[in-house]
Amino acid sequence: MAKTPPRTVPDLTGYLTHAGHVLETQLSAALAEVGLTLRMQCVLRHALEAERTQIQIAELSYMDKTTMVVTVDALEKAGYAERKPSATDRRARIIAVTEAGAKIAHEGQRIVDRVHAEALEALAAGQRQPFVNALAQLVGGHLSTPVEAQPVRRARQRAS
């Protein structure tokens, strides 16, 4: 039986993936209490920051086009957002947040901030800011841009 290769550095991918997954589930459960999904909150926040198209918000939110369309449809159905022509480019459509959408986005942000604060409270007070600073440095530097990778393809199956 082959041995598992030894690690020479900590498993950052494993730690960050696990922490991100757990934090996402906590955020999703907390936002569900006010009828929002994490994606809906993300779209509302980005749409409130500036006039943005669906495509721009999808890129900022790491969503594919189909997921973005479904999310905006849900926001429209809830009365939180609507698609409107851009003020600067009549061919483009932006996501405009309604008054009700702005109100729920602020409520959602309070929930997101609470969940993030609770996660940081698991660290000693003196560790919190250095931890956040180190993550921000990684995300703003070495881990700021994904590498273009080829999709993994299965080997062709031979006809029998």
pTM score over 0.75? yes
Tens of pLDDT along 101-150?
999 999 999 999 999 999 999 999 999 999 999 999 999 999 998 888 76
Tens of pLDDT along 4-42?
999 999 999 999 999 999 999 999 999 999 999 999 999
Q: Is residue 160 domain-resident?
A: no
Distance, CA of 123 to CA of 37 (rounded, Å): 27
Which residue type does 135 have?
A: L
Q: Is residue 17 domain-resident?
A: no
Q: Is residue 19 domain-resident?
A: no
Q: Is 69 a residue whose pLDDT tops 90? A: yes
How confident is the model over 74-101, as a mean pLDDT? 93
Q: Is 43 a residue whose pLDDT tops 80? A: yes
Q: How confident is the model at residue 159 (pLDDT cuts 50, 70, 90)?
A: low
CATH number where 49 lies = 1.10.10.10
Question: What is the residue range of 43's domain?
Answer: 26-125
Q: Is residue 68 domain-resident?
A: yes
Q: Is 156 a residue whose pLDDT tops 90? A: no
Residue 86 has a pLDDT of 85
Q: Is residue 42 domain-resident?
A: yes
For residues 41-58, one letter each, b for 16 or more C-beta atoms within 10 angstroms of the residue's C-beta and e for the rest, the string is bbbbbbbbeeebbbebbb
Q: Is residue 36 domain-resident?
A: yes
Total domains in the fold of the chain: 1
Residue 92 has a pLDDT of 85
Q: Is residue 132 domain-resident?
A: no
Mean pLDDT of the chain: 92
Q: Is residue 37 domain-resident?
A: yes
